[in-house]
Amino acid sequence: MVGDGGSDHQGGADLGRSFIVELPPRRDCEAVVEKSWEQRFPGGLTFEGQRFAFPEGLSVRAEVRWLEESLLSVRLSLAARVAGECARCLSEAELAISDDLMYLYVPCGLDLGKDTELASDDGFLPVEVDFWGRTLDIAAQVWESLLMLLPVKLLCREDCAGLCPVCGADLNEGPCSCAQEGDPRLSVLRDVFAGLAGEAENKNEI
Ligand SMILES: [Zn+2]
Ligand SMILES: [Zn+2]
């Protein structure tokens, strides 16, 4: 999952680097280790058909602590400005994204359902680890969190009117001439209804 070349950002697998955190001493549930990164992201990424640029890069912060001897929680905080085309009118759009996600690192094979009450808290995203080292690379979770925070549709503004499907005019600048003539697709429906009404009248006469 963690590459160090990092040339492929076309919706690829990661940010092309590792995000290493040191673990607090085992059995010390009071200790908290914090680390933050300012990640430049010039290539941006394509996700679900949308292109996202990150003009100010990406801020990542991790807060690591043991919940139990073998359960490690990582609070990941991400913040960025994303820029791209408005999904409706294709003009430039920007959005600030930021959120905290809680990851729970557990040893492989641990049944969370039985072994801990944390299973009832579905706010935790579980990650299995093979063994505990002194450090942990959370690059895969940083990438996953980033994709989760991306907007489903980037819009220039919430109520963007989009483009006219007939003439392509930007409807944010006012109605186009199609609107005055009525939608041609609706006029087809009007003809159909007129026909049905005519048939009904004919039946009444019989
Ligand atoms: Zn728009
Ligand atoms: Zn139009």
d(CA 100, ligand 1 centre) in Å: 28
Neighbours of 99 (CB within 10 A): 11
d(CA 174, ligand 2 centre) in Å: 10
pTM: 0.75
Which residues are within 5 Å of ligand 1 (an ion), measured at CB?
A: 86, 88-89, 156, 160
Q: Could you read off the pLDDT of 136-148 as tens digits, one per residue?
A: 999 999 999 999 9
Query: Across the chain, how many H-helices and E-strands are there?
Result: 4, 9
d(CA 156, ligand 1 centre) in Å: 4
d(CA 158, ligand 1 centre) in Å: 8
Q: Which ligand is nearest to the CA of 161?
A: 1
pLDDT at position 197 is 57
Domain positions in the chain are 20-149, 171-205
d(CA 76, ligand 2 centre) in Å: 46
d(CA 158, ligand 2 centre) in Å: 21
* Regions of the chain where pLDDT drops below 70: 1-13, 111-122, 179-206
pLDDT at position 16 is 85
pLDDT at position 10 is 41
Give long-range contacts, CB 8 A cutoff, 24+ apart: 10-17.
10/45, 10/46, 11/45, 11/46, 11/47, 12/45, 13/143, 14/139, 14/140, 14/143, 15/39, 15/41, 15/58, 15/139, 15/142, 15/143, 15/146, 17/139
